[in-house]
Amino acid sequence: MDTIPLIHLQLLSAFLFVAGLATVLLRRNLFFVLMGVELMLNAANLSFLAWSRVQSGASTMEGQVSPLFSIAIAAAEACVGLAMLLAVFRSRESLDTDAYSRMKE
Amino acid sequence: MGFAMIAQVYFWIFAAIAAACALGVMLSRHPINGAMSLIGTMVSLAGIFSLIASPFMATLQVLVYAGAVMMLVVFVIMVLNCAKDHSTPLFDGAGLFGVLPAAALGALLVRVFVGLDKQATVAMNPQAPRGDVDAISKTLFGAGQHTGGWALLFLAVGILLLTAIVGAVLLAKRHLDSPSEPATIEGGH
C-alpha cells in the first residue's frame, strides 16, 4: 500500500515552524514578523492533520476539526495585526522595529 | 502496481516547494517577494493536506489563507509602498539572539520526532474515513455523539471574528473621535 511516513510529515512541520520562528526573531520589518507568525500557524495545522491520520476511531476527526479554529484565529490575527501595522506606520513613518523605541528615550 | 510510490513522489515535490518557499520568506528583501513565497508555501501545504485525505482543510487553506489572508497582506504591502528594508542587514550580531532559540527549538522538535514510532505511516487507503465536509460537520456539531461537539467553540470563533473586524476598522480609522469626517487633503502629514 502507498504510504507516507508520519515522521516525514512531522519533520516538514518542524522545519516550517522553525523557519517561521526564525523569521519572527531575525527580521526587523513588521510585514515579515506577521508572515512568520502565519508560517508557524500553517506548520501547526500540518502537524494536527498528520497526527489525526494515525489515530483511530473518533479522534481521527477531532484532529481534522482543530485546524479549522486555528485558521479562524489566524484570520483574526492577520486582520487586527495589519490594522495595527497601518496605525503604527502612520505615527512613525517606518516599518523597522528598531524605530519603535520611544520608551527607551 | 506501477504507481505504488506516487503519493510519496507527490509528497516530496510539495515538501520541497514548501520548504524552499519558507526559506524565501525568511531571506527575501522586499515584503512582496516574501508574501509570494508564503503563498507558495500555503498552496503546497494545501496539496499535502489533500494528499493525507483532508480535502476540506485543503480547500480552506486555499480559500482562507492563500485567498483572503494573503490578499489582505499583499494589499497592505502595496498601500505602504515604501516598505522595502534595505537599510538594515539581514543578519547581524543581534540576530544571534534570534538564531539560538530557533535552533534550540528545531533540535528539540527533531529529537522528539526521531523517537517516534518508525512504523507509523499515513496510508493512502480509499476506505479510510476522509476529512470531507460531511465527516467534519458531524464532528463539529456533535451529531450522534454524547458530547456536544465543538458547536460552542464555533460560535465563540464567530464572535472573535466579529470583534476582530470591528477592532480593525477602529484601528485603521485616521481620526477616532470624528467618524463622519471625509478624507480631505490635510497638508501632507
- Could you give the number of structural domains in chain A? 1
Write down the pLDDT at residue B138: 85
Is B138 within 8 Å of B144 (Cβ atoms)? yes
Q: Do A54 and B48 touch (CB under 8 A)?
A: no
Q: Has residue A32 been placed in a domain?
A: yes
Task: Provide the chain A residues 78-97 that lie in CB contact (below 8 A) with chain B.
Answer: 78-80, 82-87, 89-90, 95-96
Q: Which domain range does residue A42 map to?
A: 7-93
Which residues in B lie closer than 8 A to residue A77 (C-beta atoms)? 164
Residues 6+ apart with CB under 8 A from A10: A47, A50, A51, B113, B116
Show me where the domains of chain B are located: 1-83, 132-175
B124 vs A2, A10, A98: nearest CB: A2
Residues 6+ apart with CB under 8 A from B92: none
Type and span of the H or E element at A48? helix A30-54
Distance from CA of B126 to the nearest CA of A (A): 11
Write down the pLDDT at residue B95: 76
Tens-level pLDDT at each residue, chain B (189 residues): 455 688 889 999 999 999 999 999 998 888 899 999 999 999 999 999 999 888 999 999 999 999 999 999 999 988 887 655 556 666 666 777 888 999 999 999 999 888 877 777 777 777 777 888 888 888 888 776 666 678 888 999 999 999 999 999 998 887 655 555 455 555 444
Q: How far apart are CA B123 and CA A4, in angstroms?
A: 6
Q: Has residue A98 been placed in a domain?
A: no
Whichever domain contains A53, its CATH number is 1.10.287.3510
Which residues share a beta bridge with A29?
A96
Q: Has residue A81 been placed in a domain?
A: yes
Strands B121-123 and A3-5: antiparallel
Tens-level pLDDT at each residue, chain A (105 residues): 678 888 899 999 999 999 999 999 988 888 899 999 999 999 999 999 998 888 877 677 888 888 999 999 999 999 999 999 888 888 877 777 777 777 776
ipTM: 0.92
Closest CA to A38 of A49, A23, A27: A23
Helix (H, G, I), strand (E, B) or coil at A94: coil
Q: Does B89 touch chain A (CB under 8 A)?
A: no
What backbone phi and psi angles, to 5 degrees, belong to B123?
-85, 145
- Span B1-83 CATH architecture: Up-down Bundle (1.20)
Helix (H, G, I), strand (E, B) or coil at A15: helix
Q: Has residue A39 been placed in a domain?
A: yes
In single-letter form, the type of residue at position B111 comes to R
Cell (9 digits) for A104: 527607551
Torsional sign, CA B41, B45, B46, B47: positive
pTM for the whole structure: 0.88
Q: How far apart are CA B138 and CA B26, in angstroms?
A: 39
Q: Has residue A2 been placed in a domain?
A: no
Interior/surface letters B137-170, b for 16+ CB within 10 angstroms, e for the rest: eebbeeeeeeeebbeebeeebeebeeebeeebee
Q: Has residue A75 been placed in a domain?
A: yes
Q: How far apart are CA B101 and CA A101, in angstroms?
A: 23
Cell (9 digits) for B189: 502629514
Q: Does B172 touch chain A (CB under 8 A)?
A: yes
Type and span of the H or E element at A3? strand A3-5
Write down the pLDDT at residue B113: 86
